[in-house]
Amino acid sequence: MSNKRKSKRRPPAPKRTEPAPEATTPSTEEPPPRRQGLLSGSMFSSGPSPMPPLARTLGRGFLAVIGQPIIVLVTVALVALAWFALLAAGFEGTPGRLVAVLALPPISTYFDLGTGSAIFGIAPGLLVFLGVTLVLRTLIVTALTGMILESLEDDRVSMYGILRSVRALPTVLAVHVLSFSIIIAGNLILPILGPGIGFLGFVAVLVAGLFFLGFAPAAAIREGRPVLDEIRRSGRAAMLPNARHLMFCALYFFLALPVLVGLAPGGTLITANPTLVTWTFAFVVSVVHVGFMGALAYRWVVVEPAVPEDPVKRRPATKAPAKAPSAKARSRR
């Protein structure tokens, strides 16, 4: 055996490998929802809406009115009775005012203020006139809404719809009182802003009144809750995300005042005997007003299950997550 020491081959040292960089996977977390403003979800936002589209809303509302001859006959009779009642009270003006007899509040309240001022001026008689019209409008709107809801729900109109609507009288009365209040407040405050901005502000007040209070009569008939609860629920329904309800209210306002009033035949003629054309136009326009009432009732029937019981809490502003320090920054520590 040789004395040479057998050299043992040392195994090669394992190569030092750097850890592979972590694979960057796309974040699956959704970005926080954008915070919406007061009316941003009511007109301009996109996405699924709890309310039916505008065309379907108007179609179902007008069908519920025109499809029941009794509602049309009651509408025509109310316009004729209103004109004779105004003549008996001493009204001397144009029959063009007939186009706003059955307008929705607060436009109808604005009509009553103008008509009462034309008859009595600024006198105690004006307050009596407004009190009487307030009660009459409450009864008319409540009864018509009850008939329309029965037409939507059961495709018929009977005494049941009118009797069921009686429990909504306090809520409808409160809607007209609030409409009167916001018009008076607008006439007192908005002129300070000047003729241009003041007029635009007054238009916004009228649209806002219909926007927040428009669902209250139908809600009160179907639910029978206390007055304040129904008014709050009407506002919550209007403020639902992606509801785009402001577009509906703006459409009604600009159709009810500038278009219908401007197209009224004999608009400047002062007479106690309207022509056949004027009567026909007033009847058709009144059916249009009641059709929009039906559209509001249909929207409430559809959206009622989605209206929250409590106010929707606004999301607090979310802070961006802090970035992890880079490798270069860690090496300097």
Predicted confidence (pLDDT) per residue in 260-276, tens digit: 777 777 667 888 888 89
Name the least confident of 50-59, 99-108, 272-281, 303-312: 303-312
Number of residues that make up the chain = 333
The better pLDDT of the pair 77, 28 is held by 77
- b/e per residue, 296-318, with b = 16+ CB within 10 A? bbbbbbbbbeebeeeeeeeeeee
Residue 217: closest CA among 169, 252, 251, 253: 169
Tokens of 281: 């136009």
How crowded is residue 24: how many other Cβ atoms within 10 Å of its Cβ? 6
Whether the predicted pLDDT of 82 surpasses 80: yes
Residue 42: closest CA among 219, 299, 225: 299
The better pLDDT of the pair 323, 301 is held by 301
Residue 84: closest CA among 293, 215, 324, 272: 272
pTM (predicted TM-score): 0.79
The one-letter code for the residue type at 248 is F
Q: Model confidence at 173, in pLDDT bands (50, 70, 90)? A: very high
Tell me what the mean pLDDT of segment 51-63 comes to: 95
Whether the predicted pLDDT of 244 surpasses 60: yes
Whether the predicted pLDDT of 5 surpasses 60: no
Whether the predicted pLDDT of 27 surpasses 60: no
Residue 144: closest CA among 244, 291, 11, 319: 291
How crowded is residue 294: how many other Cβ atoms within 10 Å of its Cβ? 30
Tell me what the mean pLDDT of segment 249-263 comes to: 82
Residue 135: closest CA among 175, 86, 173, 162: 173
Q: Phi/psi of residue 90, each to 5°?
A: 100, 20
SS (H, E, C) the chain: CCCCCCCCCCCCCCCCCCCCCCCCCCCCCCCCCCCCCCCHHHHCCCCCCCCCCHHHHHHHHHHHHHCCHHHHHHHHHHHHHHHHHHHHCCCCCCHHHHHHCCCCCCHHHHHHHHHHHHHHCCCHHHHHHHHHHHHHHHHHHHHHHHHHHHHHHHCCCCHHHHHHHHHHHHHHHHHHHHHHHHHHHHHHHHHHHCHHHHHHHHHHHHHHHHHHHCCHHHHHHHHCCCHHHHHHHHHHHHCCCCCCHHHHHHHHHHHHHHHHHHCCCCCCCCCCCCCHHHHHHHHHHHHHHHHHHHHHHHHHHHHHHHCCCCCCCCCCCCCCCCCCCCHHHHHCC
Tokens of 236: 């919550």
Give CA–CA dist 314/214, Å, rounded.
23
Whether the predicted pLDDT of 48 surpasses 80: no
Computed on alpha carbons and rounded to an integer, the radius of gyration of the chain in Å comes to 32
Residue 149: closest CA among 315, 296, 332: 296
Name the least confident of 38-52, 55-69, 154-168, 269-283: 38-52
Residue 252: closest CA among 298, 207, 299: 207
Are the beta carbons of 279 and 75 closer than 8 angstroms?
no
